[in-house]
Amino acid sequence: MSGNKARQDAIEAVRHYEAPAAVFTSTEAPGEIFGENVFTKAVMQKRLPKPVFKSVMATIEHSEPLDPTVADVVAVVMKDWAMEKGATHYAHVFYPLTHLTAEKHDSFFEPGSDGNAIAEFAGKTLTQGEPDASSFPNGGLRATFEARGYTGWDVTSPAYILENPNGNTLCIPTVFVSMTGEALDNKTPLLRSQQAMAKQAARVLHLFGHEHPDAVVSFAGAEQEYFLIDRSFFLSRPDLLNSGRTLFGAKPPKGQEFDDHYFGAIPERVLAFMMDCERDLFKLGIPAKTRHNEVAPGQFELAPMFERSNVAADHQQLLMTTLKRVAQKHGMECLFHEKPFAGINGSGKHVNFSLGNSTQGNLLLPGDTPHENAQFLVFCAAVIRSVHKYGSLLRASVASATNDHRLGANEAPPAIISIFLGDQLADVFEQISKGGATTSKTKGSLEIGVDTLPVLPTDPGDRNRTSPFAFTGNRFEFRAPGSLQSIAGPMTTINTILAEALDFIATELETNVADGVEFNAAVQTVLEKIINDHGAVVFNDDGYADEWQTEAAERGLPNLKTTLDALPELITEDSMELFSRYGVFNHREMHSRYEIALEQYILSVHVEAALTLEMATTIIAPAAVRYQTELALNVSSLTAIGQDADTTTLDEVSASLKALRAGIATLRSELAQEEADTEEKRAEHAQKSLLPAMVALRAAADTLEGLVADDLWPLPTYQEMLFIL
């Protein structure tokens, strides 16, 4: 028989798929299960001695340092709670630099002296773990002789129970650091950056007359886009299985042109999956809020409600794990790659963020009194300054081999980092730049002088989906992050560059006020300076337009098109100085991040190249050869009996097969090239030689897909993967 068995089996499997039974019992209200598996504040309040509870809360809610003596008490209470929930093990959960989640599991039970197992979980076990760090990337931070890494309890992110049919696990969110205290994870720098930003924000709030402001934190709400495909198809595509994207596949006759998927009805099977996911997420205390279809067929989005950025980052990781697990339960595979299907809309993870605290609320809310406006405009100006000054770092924070396929592909923002403010706000800043805002566009002319500011609407007004960094009424939305990545990196960058801008503003204001300048005048001066120095980053038009590329260059905005253009930004003198000044990364840590990102890039492209070669050689070429043989036999037997034979198709197949073989030869020789002596050169080879060789090979294969008889074609097609759910 032909070589299409895997594909036919996959189609058969989909045909006979049976949905799992409903998960919601009719009596269960979502509100009842929310946070059921979380060691929540309410649980702590009920179970912890009052002073301990107060102390822990001071750390969680007001960023006070953790009192080490409370750990023992919390540990015992946490263990009892977890065991009541059926937990037999606990795990320190951490986020190494691979965008994955790592867990180190241990049993609660330790053999007692009499041979009986006793449940032990001391404060020390809660606060510190010691996973073997040698299997995680460290970018030279840790020589192998000091392979140790430590995990440390992050009190600010709630512990939770992960359910499994074979027993439950208490999961404790932790940071992951080397023996010397250097960060080996995504969380440590996020917490450090949060602290740095809070310190500078407090200075600004003091200047605005708030005597005892609560610690300012950044909030993040990430919109997760993903694809769902039937798992049978996934399993018969080695490319999806091993690299997360299709390395082959002709464009389907019907793509997303009809726009019939976006906000269309959600397929029943997908809805069942979504409900199942939401239930699990609710139990984990993750507020999954919206769900809808996305632009491409088979593409969906899930946006949890915003939370403190460090908790949001943890929850975001947990959300991805949950989506993947539940999808499998429903016979589907959840794809997080930024571009699983060429020519089809990719997936991003828009990061919505704001700053705020319990005393002043959201600092990015325009508000409706001039005084609040001034404060809002100052924070908004801080964003403008930071994005202009450090756009390259924002770009670097979303750089990866996978996101390279999406950014700038006319569905995602270009690699140029600009800010969309909306007409109204842009107008206010325009006026400020000319000496002071006296009018507000919709409200008409307000004679309020240079030192006070107009009333601003909270309505975001128009939307601009082409901007990488857009103000949306009470928050900014950073749209460049990829669907696969952790939001910790982008949020760390945002916090840090905001710390710098707020530091600058606070210093200017403090100096001016000390010199006797009236406060409002000082505010106007600093706003004017910022908009004049950094206004070039504001762009309210179409970010997809070709003219923007030219205009942005004229404005001096960097356009770092690929990962390899962006990554060196991490190790410029300026960047390293910035991150070390605010205590987020020391120089060694910056270098390690750079090296790890580079290494990940190289690995990722190499895996894809090897897979491309293997699939072309062992799956695609054989199918084409079979068809070629069939055609040739047909031609020769017809010719033998003096009949007209169709040689055109045979010629076409032969020509494409020749191109495929040439592509295979090129890619093989590129892959066999002697390893370059530096990582930079290896990365460049991956980008400049491997990727183009893969593209050329794919073109020949995709042409063959349009020629070879369907019953001989071995790989599930785009049409099947995208439309059969």
The distance of closest approach from Cβ of residue 479 to Mg ion in the complex, given in angstroms and rounded to an integer, is 9
Strands 168-178 and 87-94 come out as parallel
Task: Kindly determine how many residues on this chain lie close enough to bind Mg ion according to the rule CB under 5 A.
Answer: 1
Instruction: Output the CA–CA distances (angstroms, integers) from residue 645 to 205, 234, 655, 656, in the order listed.
Output: 84, 39, 18, 20
Q: How far from 682 is each of 137, 379, 670, CA to CA, in Å?
A: 18, 42, 11
Strand, helix or coil at 559? strand
492 forms part of the interface with ligand ADP (CB under 6 A): no
Is residue 322 a contact point for ligand ADP (CB under 6 A)? Answer: no
- The one among 299, 354, 467, 485 contacting ligand ADP by CB under 6 A: 354
β-bridge mates for residue 87, sequence order: 168
Alpha-carbon gap, residue 564 to 680, rounded angstroms? 9
**x/- contact string, 99-138, with ligand ADP (CB under 6 A)?**
----------------------------------------
Torsion angle defined by CA atoms of residues 85, 91, 94 and 97, in that order, rounded to the nearest 10 degrees: -130
Contacting range for ligand ADP; rule: CB under 6 A; set: 124-132, 217-225, 405-413, 618-626: 217-225
CA distance 396 to 405: 15
Q: How many CA atoms lie within 13 A of 309 on its CB side?
A: 34
Q: How far apart are CA 708 and CA 625, in angstroms?
A: 9
Residue 19 interacts with ligand ADP (CB under 6 A)? no
- With CB under 6 A as the contact rule, the residue among 98, 128, 321, 362 that binds ligand ADP is 362
At 126, list the tokens. Answer: 């809660």
Q: What is the C-alpha to C-alpha distance for residues 297 and 262, in angstroms, rounded to an integer? A: 8
Which residue of the chain is nearest Mg ion when measured via CB? 223
Of 419 and 564, which CB lies nearer to Mg ion in the complex structure?
A: 419
Among 174, 474, 483, 496, binds ligand ADP (CB under 6 A): 474
Nearer to Mg ion, 223 or 528 (CB): 223
Is 352 one of the binding residues for ligand ADP (CB under 6 A)?
A: yes
In whole angstroms, how close is the CB of 259 to ligand ADP at the nearest point?
16
Question: DSSP string of 592-652?
Answer: HHHHHHHHHHHHHHHHHHHHHHHHIIIIIHHHHHHHHHHHHHHHHHHHHTT----HHHHHH
239 binds Mg ion (CB under 5 A): no
Assess 224 for contact with ligand ADP (CB under 6 A).
Answer: no
Q: Does 226 bind ligand ADP (CB under 6 A)?
A: no
Return the number of the residue (66 or 494) whose C-beta is nearest ligand ADP: 494
Which residues ranging from 165 to 224 are in contact with Mg ion (CB under 5 A)? 223
Task: Tell me the residue number closest to ligand ADP, measured at CB.
Answer: 221
In this structure, are residues 245 and 239 in contact, taking their beta carbons and an 8 Å threshold? yes
Residue 121 binds which one of Mg ion, ligand ADP, none, with CB within 5 to 8 A depending on kind? none
Q: Does 290 bind ligand ADP (CB under 6 A)?
A: yes
CB 321, min distance to ligand ADP, A: 18
| Using rule CB under 5 A, residue 307 touches Mg ion | no
**Cβ distance to ligand ADP smaller for residue 540 or 666:** 540
Based on the shown chain and the rule CB under 6 A, indicate whether residue 376 belongs to the binding site for ligand ADP. Answer: no
> Of 696, 686, 699, nearest to 665 (Cα)?
696
Binds ligand ADP (CB under 6 A): choice among 226, 353, 469, 585: 353
Which entry of Mg ion, ligand ADP, none binds 497, CB below 5 to 8 A by partner kind? none
Binds 506: which of Mg ion, ligand ADP, none (CB < 5-8 Å by kind): none
* 291-320 binders of ligand ADP (CB under 6 A): 303-306
* Stretch near ligand ADP under the rule CB under 6 A, chosen from 31-39, 214-222, 511-519, 664-672: 214-222
Question: In angstroms, what is the C-alpha Rg of the chain?
Answer: 28
Altogether, the residues listed in the chain come to a count of 725
Partner interacting with residue 305 (select from Mg ion, ligand ADP, none; CB below 5-8 Å by kind): ligand ADP
b/e burial code for range 217-252 (CB count within 10 A of at least 16 → b): bbbbbbbbbbbbbbbbbbbbbbbbeebbbbbbbbeb
Least gap, CB of 341 to ligand ADP (angstroms): 21
Residue 70 and residue 51: Cα distance in Å, rounded? 9
Distance CA 129, CA 149 (A): 8
Shortest spacing between CB 188 and ligand ADP, in angstroms: 22
422 lies in the binding site for ligand ADP (CB under 6 A): no
Q: Which residues bind Mg ion (CB under 5 A)?
A: 223
Q: Which residues bind ligand ADP (CB under 6 A)?
A: 219-221, 223, 290, 303-306, 352-354, 362, 474-475
